Amino acid sequence: MPLEPALRARFQNPTPLAAGLRATFVFATGPSGTYAVRLRDGVAKVTRVEPGAERSVRDASCTITVPGAVLSSILAGKRAGLDSFLDGSLTVRGNLALALQLDDLFEHPPRPIAFPRARRIVAHGVDTFYIEAGEGFPVLFLHGLGATNSSMLPCFAGLAGQYRVIAPDNPGFGESAKPLRAYHPKFFAEWVVALMDRLGLERAHLVGNSMGGRISLEVALRYPDRVGKLGLLCPSMAFRRLRHAVPIVKLLAPELALAAAVVPRAVVAKVLDLLFQDPRRMQPNRMDAAVDEFLRVYRTPRGRIAFLSATRQIYLEEAFGEHGFWDRLPALARPSLFLFGDSDLLVPDAFLKHVQDAVPAARCVRLHQCGHVPQFEHPALTNELLLDFLRDV
């Protein structure tokens, strides 16, 4: 079927996810043409755009650049858009979360169970956006500070063939609600358990990166019966030193972020570079999408407040004492895999020894030439280690 009729046929019969949504998707497909799909309250209108005039669609929510043949395969349900994004044949600029929902805004033919599906659910009073795929024992992926569920996509896709994989946007981030409250580990752990309850999950493996790793640890410490195993990718943990600024940070109310803050795109890109031992390992399409997503959320007042609140809580967490992280960590009873990058500037691999001292039974791996996001810098190795650990009895 030619591309334009295929687009018109695909964007019919809206699902509840499309209700009340106003968005414009631009598909730039090279010689096959450029098309704008305007969605207004469940009704989609497809129009052809003059060649080279993609930027003239000023109301574009996201622009998807993809060869016509690849898009045709995606529209026919023969190929997952996520796979095309991860292999670099499809790029997204603008609202990446909308692109993740695209397949589920309208009714479609049955797709393979390993293809992602977008959903929303209320857990712990938080309207939560998540994607899921696969079947089998559930694995819940939890992203880091300032990120969204898209930061876990390499692992999500890598495990979807063997597990039921679920990747939510944490409260305060991405497309999930952003309540005005303290974003500390206890709150996040309560939300995770509530989410599991709503999804009917008695137990699940938890895989978290950075702050998501810290949340996973908190769930395992407070609710060990709900956790199978923990895959912890450079998990953030309480500062053992450099705590001299605690009195000052306590004075920084998250509501200060209500003031409009202009963060140049180049600054965000530079900060993201610092998460890698070698930023060149991150495909340009993924890096651009990550910068777009951060800025899209951070430019909203509640997004800024949530980001500052979570950042503040990470630094202020007590390291030692009755409620201190490092004095609680030896109680960790669930099988755990800790991955540390030898070039991680945020969670130095020196923490590996502290974890081994606190939890001798934990499996700790130092990844060479790796920064803070091993799922992007070394995706094949990270997935191999996770799969080997999760299926190990």
SS (H, E, C) 351-369: HHHHHHHHCCCCEEEEECC
Q: In the chain, which residue ranges form alpha helices assigned H by DSSP?
A: 3-10, 68-75, 81-87, 96-101, 153-159, 185-198, 211-222, 246-250, 265-273, 284-298, 301-316, 325-328, 351-358, 374-377, 379-391
CA separation for the pair 50, 30 (Å, rounded):
11
Contact 216, 338 (CB under 8 A): no
Rounded alpha-carbon distances, angstroms, from residue 151 to 97, 142, 314, 374: 11, 9, 19, 11
The 10s digit of each residue's pLDDT in 83-135 is: 999 999 999 999 999 999 988 888 877 888 999 999 999 999 999 999 999 99
CA separation for the pair 238, 328 (Å, rounded):
11
Half-sphere exposure for 304 (CA within 13 Å, toward CB): 14
Please tell me whether the overall predicted TM-score, pTM, comes out greater than 0.85 for this model.
yes
- Sole residue written with tokens 């950042």: 311
CA separation for the pair 351, 198 (Å, rounded):
35
CA separation for the pair 257, 174 (Å, rounded):
17
CB-based burial of residue 55 (10 Å sphere; 0-12 exposed, 13-18 middle, 19+ buried)?
exposed
Residue 292 sits at φ, ψ, to 5 deg, of -55, -45
Task: Name, in order, each residue with C-beta under 8 angstroms of 180's C-beta and a sequence gap of 6 or more.
Answer: 255, 302, 305
pLDDT at 69: 92
Cβ count near 225 (within 10 Å): 9
Contact 80, 116 (CB under 8 A): yes
End-to-end CA, the chain: 49
Confidence of residue 249 (pLDDT cuts 50, 70, 90): very low
pLDDT at 13: 85
CA separation for the pair 229, 243 (Å, rounded):
31
Average pLDDT of every residue of the chain: 90
Contact 82, 112 (CB under 8 A): no
Contact 366, 338 (CB under 8 A): no
The 10s digit of each residue's pLDDT in 263-287 is: 889 999 999 999 999 999 988 888 9
The 10s digit of each residue's pLDDT in 23-37 is: 999 999 988 889 999
Confidence of residue 370 (pLDDT cuts 50, 70, 90): very high
Domains, the chain, with CATH or none: 3-104 (3.30.1050.10), 117-391 (3.40.50.1820)
CB-based burial of residue 330 (10 Å sphere; 0-12 exposed, 13-18 middle, 19+ buried)?
exposed
CA separation for the pair 197, 226 (Å, rounded):
10
What is the Cα 318 distance to its own chain's centre?
26
CA separation for the pair 116, 101 (Å, rounded):
9
Cβ count near 364 (within 10 Å): 18
Task: Name, in order, each residue with C-beta under 8 angstroms of 242's C-beta and a sequence gap of 6 or more.
Answer: none
Top pLDDT among 259 and 160 is at 160
The 10s digit of each residue's pLDDT in 291-350 is: 999 999 999 999 999 998 999 898 888 889 988 999 999 999 999 999 999 999 999 999
CA angle 293/295/299 to nearest 5° reads 125
Q: Where are the beta strands (DSSP E) in 43-147?
A: 43-49, 62-65, 91-94, 117-123, 126-133, 138-142
